[in-house]
Amino acid sequence: MDDLQPEAEDLNFTNRIDLKPLQEHVEQIKNEIGKIIVGQNDMIELLIISILSNGHTLIEGVPGVAKTITAKLLAKTLDVDFSRIQFTPDLMPSDILGTSIFNVKTNDFEYKKGPIFSNIILIDEINRAPAKTQAALFEVMAERQITIDNNRFVMNSPFLVFATQNPIEQEGTYRLPEAQLDRFLFKIDVDYPSLDEEVQILIDNHKREDKLDFNTINSVLKAEDIMAYQNLIKQVLVEDHLLNYIAAIVNNTRTNANLYLGASPRASIAILNAAKSNAAIHGRDFVTPDDIKRCTKAVLKHRLVLTPEREMEAFTVEKVIDQILETIEIPR
């Protein structure tokens, strides 16, 4: 997939905006994570894109493919507050949002903030929490604020949620509603490592004597740096014909005979923002069709629902997206 990305130094042009510091920081983040993680380059890059695009990410994969560790390592490269919340079937909204406690000394209620009050939130096994807890999480993901006892609390920036889920377990899990899935910028599917990568994993694990030392990971970006880069991304140029290309892709999902539910305009905006970030980390201040194609599948696959007939035929959303991208003419 990376071979689709034209490098800035191979092209004869001068950027309107200076993207070199951003590129250098992205490489530093990848190098820091690479001290422990072998492979998973696509997941790491998409996670970085989601941070630059100010979007939440759902990470799905079988147990043991380094979903949680990668998210924790990425958070460690950022000099911001970090919280990890393990979702369980008995988790209540107050366990993540906080609760009001009566203070005997002041004879009044005091609000004790929960772990959601942080910059980077890692939610492990998000689909294990019941509907009431998911609803509490929905507001903070959608609006980056919570409302408790008629008081509104705004989250500090940056505020990003990385959530993991296991695709094969059914017992004790709750399917995330489409409205909540739509709040995730990306859904990243994490696959097994290749044979060579797994050999390297064993070698590294043996050298470390089965220990993970997170203290070897250095912080690369501060909160103000992240917000500055998020604002910088907004300046990336997108030609009108590429905006039409994004709209055509998303519109096709609404009329596609294979799909029961298509994507909303929020998906169009997500593709646009992700494509800008993808262009920037590859040193370009303008978006190309390849930037759009690279991000489309991660943006759409959790937002689309197959028709019952297609589900019975073992069809996949990924295949539908591939067909859409093959059908729509690429602008030149």
Band of pLDDT at residue 13, cut at 50, 70 and 90? low
Report the alpha-carbon angle 289-293-299, nearest 5: 130
Which range among 12-16, 182-186, 213-217 shows the weakest confidence by mean pLDDT?
A: 12-16
At residue 220, φ and ψ (nearest 5 deg) are: -110, -45
> Which residues belong to CATH 1.10.8.80 in the chain?
1-16+235-332
Which range among 62-76, 97-111, 284-298 shows the weakest confidence by mean pLDDT?
A: 97-111
Band of pLDDT at residue 9, cut at 50, 70 and 90? very low
> Which residues belong to CATH 3.40.50.300 in the chain?
18-224
Band of pLDDT at residue 225, cut at 50, 70 and 90? very high
Give the position of tokens 């959530």. 163
- Pick from 48, 74, 180, 80: which is nearest to 127 by CA? 180
Give the Cα separation of 320 and 300 in Å (integer). Answer: 10
Check if the beta carbon of residue 77 is closer than 8 Å to that of residue 220: yes
- Pick from 183, 203, 37: which is nearest to 123 by CA? 183
In this prediction, what percent of the chain has a pLDDT beyond 70? 94
Q: Has domain 1-16+235-332 been given CATH number 1.10.10.10?
A: no
Report, as an integer, the average pLDDT of 159-169.
Answer: 82
Domain 18-224 fold is: Rossmann fold (3.40.50)
Report the alpha-carbon angle 293-319-248, nearest 5: 45
Give the Cα separation of 154 and 175 in Å (integer). Answer: 28
Report, as an integer, the average pLDDT of 117-146.
Answer: 85
Higher pLDDT, 26 or 6: 26
pLDDT surpassing 70 at residue 6: no
Give the position of tokens 């409302």. 147
Bridge-based pairing of strands 78-79 and 221-222 is parallel
Confidence (pLDDT) at 168: 64
Give the mean pLDDT of the chain. 85
In this structure, what token pair is assigned to residue 15? 């950027």
pLDDT surpassing 70 at residue 110: yes
pLDDT surpassing 70 at residue 171: no
